[in-house]
Amino acid sequence: MTSVSFARAVLPVALSSCAALAGGCRTVGATAAPGGEAVVAIGGPETRAEHRLGNGVRVVIEENHAAPAVAVQVWVAGGAAADPPALAGSAHFFEHLVLRGTKRRPPGAAAREIAALGGTLGAWTGADETVYHAAVAAPFLDAALDVLGDALGSPSFEPAEVERARREPSARRTPGPCSAPRRRSRRGRARSSWPASPRATSAPR
């Protein structure tokens, strides 16, 4: 499979492929409850496989047959906490740009391609990670891998898209006054745990 080989060769990230959306990506069989209702049992070690490739990419596969769907996530080991103070918000900004076109796909093409398959494509930035993800019906796994491999391996960063993203509030969010209680709480815990770290002031998406 060309797309898998491409992704494995160029992405210095952890690729996690979960063979379903439901059940937290853990499986496995179903048994009948006394009332006749099916109960999904949580699978044991045999439902998970893990392998580290020669280039450092960690591949994790967890099966769940509750639905004929597949979720693919690419985890990059770096997030908002690693932003230098002078470049606060850059990890989140970069996350937005990666899915905005490649050498093979013009801006918006990747999202349209996945949407045409009935799937979803997106990303998020945390304090310690940036995650790119796609969810599709199981037969379209190759397409999801190809889209994410292409996005991470050859983003185009077209000047027009960079400027467009720069003007969008969601893409240029930077640390500052925060009114959301959950975010204020998270930031307070970070200040207590890592007072000298950018994590204490970062505001991940």
Is there a contact between 140 and 131 (Cβ–Cβ < 8 Å)? no
State yes or no: is 63 an active-site residue: no
Q: What pLDDT sits at residue 171? A: 55
pLDDT band at 44, cuts 50/70/90?
very low
Q: φ and ψ at 124, to 5 degrees?
A: -150, 155
HSE-CB at 58 with a 13 A cutoff on CA atoms is: 6
At 111-150, the pLDDT tens digits run: 999 999 999 999 999 989 999 999 999 999 999 999 999 9
Catalytic site residue from 62, 63, 95, 113: 95
Task: Evaluate if residue 107 carries a pLDDT over 90.
Answer: yes
Residues 47-101: tens digit of each pLDDT? 888 999 998 999 999 888 888 999 999 999 999 888 888 888 889 999 999 999 9
Predicted local distance difference test score (pLDDT) of residue 193: 66
Q: What is the mean pLDDT of the chain?
A: 75
Q: Which CATH superfamily is domain 2-175 in?
A: Metalloenzyme, LuxS/M16 peptidase-like (3.30.830.10)
